[in-house]
Amino acid sequence: MTVRWPFAFSAMQPFRVVRAQGAYLYTGDGREILDAAGGAIAVNIGHGRAAVADAMRDAAMSTSYVVPPWLTPARERLLERLVRDWLPPGLTRLHLTCSGAEGVETAMKIAIQYHAARGKPAKTAIIGRTPSYHGTTLATTAVGGHEARKHGLAHALPSYMRVPAPYPLRCAAEDVTASCLSALEEAIETAGADNVAAFLAEPIVGASGGAIVPPDDYWPGVKSLCERYDILLLADEVMTGFGRTGAKFALGECTDAHWPVAPDVVVAGKGLAGGYAPITGVFATERVGAAIEAAGMNVMFHTFAAHPAACAAADKVLQILTEEELVARAAKAGADLKARLQETFAQHPRVAQVRGKGLLLALEVVADRADLGRFPAAAQITSRIAAEALQRGVAFYPGGTGVVRDVVVIGPPFTIGDTELTRIVETLAVAIDAATSEA
Ligand SMILES: Cc1ncc(COP(=O)(O)O)c(C=O)c1O
């Protein structure tokens, strides 16, 4: 029998990985690969931590499964730790899903239910951004601004309004924030504020744009528009959450966020269990949760949501992040890595920008640095850079949306050492030259 995996051939070559330890993957044919992308930007405490495996085993032995609304020791420990040590203030209503897409879709449903519960059932529209990525379900694919992932689906997707995400490198307007906020306000007014439930966005655009950081006045501006028009702010921190960008969360009314702005709902997955288990959190304010509850509505669970073994993994990963002060380390290692990349590529004719925060970084590669002209899509530069790097033993994450392209995303474990940082920079330089020299 021929086994076909993955389902359909993609640009990313499947590797047979038989072991992983720290920041390294080991293949069946004896190769060692530096995991500079933490898989899909998920691995934060490094691979092969026995303490996490032990916690998962203990949870499975103690209470292998009970329905998500009930409590188990592992579930209870995680919920307490989240509120005590991790979540921005005010997020008291917690829901857990298996994937980021389910989490984002739940947040969209919560926004619709919230308004319906307050007697505003017409407020159903969710405004998204371009570029963005929110997951693979029909609704998250539809609301997202990721053209390549709509291939073969676009004609059947429900329609959502989208506004530009701030993209300082390529924004024609002098004031990036003003232009993005006026696009958002225009979208709200076109739809009619009475019809808009929420604005959904990643605080720092993840892989779809390649770690695009907005100007500092963007998020406060978004928040005030949301308040003015009675629209919920849904922060997709699936990639940025739990320390990836060198802060616990990118948004939050607290000192350890990048922007002091309080979302109404935060979705965060990936790093929550550091790649050891599938788990994502949907965290909402008391105001939102209480309105839904008072109207007798509920937020339905997935059968395997908040799985005890996944909760145990997340609880242990969060404990390790705190005990080893790894969020601060992500900030410091990220700043070091960014500085080295900026120095190395300062004059490089093919690198338009090195950007990002903490250990969510990216490079945008162009055909011509002077006019930011892109390589044609058919040249598949991102895949070629990733392949060249992989041949040299380093795994990067190919980002972009098809429209935005040739962004190479870097998101290693927070435990990454100095030698590995040097290897990331050196390998990337060689891989970019090799991939672009004949294009
Ligand atoms: C910002 C963002 N949101 C949502 C998702 C979807 O998460 P998942 O793949 O776990 O469904 C991703 C995945 O890459 C993401 O980066």
For ligand 1, atom 7: residue with the closest CA = 100
* Per-residue pLDDT tens digits for 112-126: 999 999 999 999 999
Cα(179) to centroid(ligand 1), Å? 27
Confidence of residue 6 (pLDDT cuts 50, 70, 90): confident
**pLDDT of 57 above 70:** yes
Average pLDDT, the chain: 97
Pocket test for ligand 1, best of 98, 133, 237, 360 (most atoms within 8 A of CB): 133
- Residue predicted with more confidence, 2 or 357: 357
Report which ligand 1 atom has the smallest distance to the Cα of 40: 14
Predicted confidence at residue 14, as pLDDT, reads 76
Cα–Cα dist 233/227, whole Å: 9
Cα(6) to centroid(ligand 1), Å? 19
Predicted confidence at residue 255, as pLDDT, reads 85
Pocket test for ligand 1, best of 234, 239, 360 (most atoms within 8 A of CB): 239
Predicted confidence at residue 12, as pLDDT, reads 59
Token readout for 202 is: 């990643």
Q: How many other β-carbons are positioned within 10 Å of the β-carbon of residue 175?
A: 12
* Residue written as token pair 């601060």: 328
Report which ligand 1 atom has the smallest distance to the Cα of 237: 1
**pLDDT of 38 above 90:** yes
Cα(354) to centroid(ligand 1), Å? 22
Cα–Cα dist 49/56, whole Å: 11
Report the 3 state secondary structure along the chain: CCCCCCCCCCCCCCCCEEEEEECEEEECCCCEEEECCHHHHCCCCCECCHHHHHHHHHHHHHCCCCCCCCCCHHHHHHHHHHHHHHCCCCEEEEEEECCHHHHHHHHHHHHHHHHHHCCCCCCCEEEEEECCCCCCCHHHHHHCCCHHHHCCCHHHCCCCCEEECCCCCCCCCCCHHHHHHHHHHHHHHHHCHHHEEEEEECCCECCCCCCECCCCCHHHHHHHHHHHCCCEEEEECCCCCCCCCCCCEEECCCCCEEECCCCCEEEECHHHHCCCCCCEEEEEEHHHHHHHHHCCCCCCCCCCCCCHHHHHHHHHHHHHHHHCCHHHHHHHHHHHHHHHHHHHHCCCCCEEEEEEECCEEEEEECCECCCCECCCHHHCHHHHHHHHHHHCCEECEECCCCCCCCEEEECCCCCCCHHHHHHHHHHHHHHHHHHHCCC
Confidence of residue 1 (pLDDT cuts 50, 70, 90): low
User: Is the preceding peptide bond at 413 cis, omega within 30 degrees of 0?
Assistant: no
Amino acid residing at 9:
F
Cα(58) to centroid(ligand 1), Å? 28
Task: Spell out which residues line ligand 1, taking CB within 6 angstroms.
Answer: 40, 99-101, 104, 133-135, 202, 206-207, 236, 238-239, 269
* Per-residue pLDDT tens digits for 135-167: 999 999 999 999 999 999 999 999 999 999 999
Residues 367-378, mean pLDDT to the nearest whole number = 95
* Per-residue pLDDT tens digits for 177-196: 999 999 999 999 999 999 99
Cα(132) to centroid(ligand 1), Å? 10
Predicted confidence at residue 2, as pLDDT, reads 76
Confidence of residue 15 (pLDDT cuts 50, 70, 90): confident
Indicate the pTM of the whole model: 0.98
Report which ligand 1 atom has the smallest distance to the Cα of 132: 1
For ligand 1, atom 13: residue with the closest CA = 135
Domains of the chain, first to last: 17-48+325-436 (3.90.1150.10), 51-323 (3.40.640.10)
Report which ligand 1 atom has the smallest distance to the Cα of 136: 11
Cα–Cα dist 92/86, whole Å: 12
Pocket test for ligand 1, best of 138, 251, 270, 397 (most atoms within 8 A of CB): 270
Cα(309) to centroid(ligand 1), Å? 21
Pocket test for ligand 1, best of 12, 98, 134 (most atoms within 8 A of CB): 134
Predicted confidence at residue 221, as pLDDT, reads 98
Q: What is the CA radius of gyration of the chain?
A: 21
